[in-house]
């Protein structure tokens, strides 16, 4: 798996991790895992196809243009989450098409314990893949639904972690623009992981010209200026929290 802490600069922008892999092959058998235990993991992992070194498995979630699936790195046996963006569906929305690769580029800039880590970027003729760490705890909305309520200490912990994550984004010049409880996952240690940078923006990133006046976000959480096409800044994320 690509090293996650390697720094590089593209068009003057500092990125961490790796360059996206363009036009990888689909459904090409990966090298076998070493050892019987690892081999069992590979054989027992339900999957519908292979992309590069990853087996793409069951669906974890779905949006308008993308699906999130469980994945498995075929050489290490590590389970991951894979966001699969359908280029054909994305073509129906000019904004999505224009900014297709921005989500991955923004996530490459960010390293924080409460923000989901991007591990790899792959691209085929029809799809764009963002490979991320898997958060087995599900999202915070489901946790609250199951438990009916949170203990005060739990709520304090989650809010504190969210605030630290958003503060880190803003220091890096990134505005998330779609903060909502569905975009807060829980890892194996019950820590918050902020996800979904599909609507995020970062001033000057790789020449993108999307202004901080674009109407976007989820109406139930969005600040008034996000919905009224007025010029805005990082404070829209504070409103959403």
82 has which bridge partners? 69, 131
Asked whether 79 and 72 are in contact (CB, 8 A), the reply is yes
| Low-confidence residues of the chain: pLDDT under 50 | 1-18, 36-37
As a whole number of angstroms, the distance between CA 50 and CA 33 comes to 14
85 has which bridge partners? 66, 128
pLDDT value of residue 235: 92
Question: What SS3 string covers the chain?
Answer: CCCCCCEEEECCEEEECCCCECCCCECCCCCCCCCHHHHHHHHHCCCCEEECCEEEEEEEEECCCEEEEEEEECCCCCEEEEEEEEHHHHCCCHHHHHCCCHHHHHHHHCCCCCECCEEEEEECCCEEEEEEECCCCCEHHHHHHHHCCCCHHHHHHHHHHHHHHHHHHHHCCEECCCCCHHHEEECCCCCEEECCCCCCEECCHHHCCCCCCCCCCCCCCCCHHHHCCCCCCCHHHHHHC
pLDDT value of residue 204: 60
pLDDT value of residue 158: 98
Asked whether 118 and 224 are in contact (CB, 8 A), the reply is no
pLDDT value of residue 35: 52
Dig out the tokens for 56 from the structure: 């793409």
Binding-site residues for ATP, please?
83
Is the whole-model pTM more than 0.85?
A: no
pLDDT value of residue 75: 87
140-240 folds as Transferase(Phosphotransferase); domain 1 (1.10.510)
Architecture of the 7-133 domain: 2-Layer Sandwich (3.30)
> Looking at the annotation, which residues are catalytic?
178
Within the chain, all domains assigned CATH 3.30.200.20 are found at 7-133
Within the chain, all domains assigned CATH 1.10.510.10 are found at 140-240
Binding-site residues, please?
83
Render pLDDT for 57-73 as a digit per residue (tens, 0 to 9). 999 988 778 899 999 99
């Amino acid at each position: 798996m690509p090293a996650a802490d390697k720094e590089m600069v593209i068009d003057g922008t500092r990125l961490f991790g790796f360059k996206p892999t363009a036009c990888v092959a689909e459904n090409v058998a990966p090298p076998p895992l070493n050892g019987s235990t690892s081999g069992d993991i590979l054989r027992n992992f339900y999957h519908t196809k292979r992309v590069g070194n990853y087996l793409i498995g069951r669906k974890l979630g779905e949006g308008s243009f993308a699906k999130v699936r469980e994945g498995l790195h075929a050489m290490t046996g590590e389970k991951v989450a894979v966001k699969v963006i359908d280029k054909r569906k994305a073509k129906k929305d000019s904004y999505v098409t224009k900014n297709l690769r921005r989500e991955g580029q923004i996530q490459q800039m960010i390293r924080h314990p409460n923000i989901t880590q991007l591990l790899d970027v792959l691209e085929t003729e029809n799809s764009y893949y963002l490979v991320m760490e898997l958060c087995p705890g599900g999202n915070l909305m489901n946790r609250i639904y199951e438990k009916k309520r949170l203990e005060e200490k739990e709520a304090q912990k989650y809010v504190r972690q969210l605030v630290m994550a958003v503060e880190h984004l803003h220091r890096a010049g990134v505005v998330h623009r779609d903060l909502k409880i569905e975009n807060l996952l829980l890892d194996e240690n019950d820590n918050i992981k902020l996800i979904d940078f599909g609507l995020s923006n970062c001033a000057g990133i790789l020449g993108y010209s999307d202004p901080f006046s674009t109407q976007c976000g989820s109406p139930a959480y969005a600040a008034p200026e996000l919905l009224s096409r007025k010029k805005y800044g990082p404070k829209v994320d504070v409103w959403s929290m």
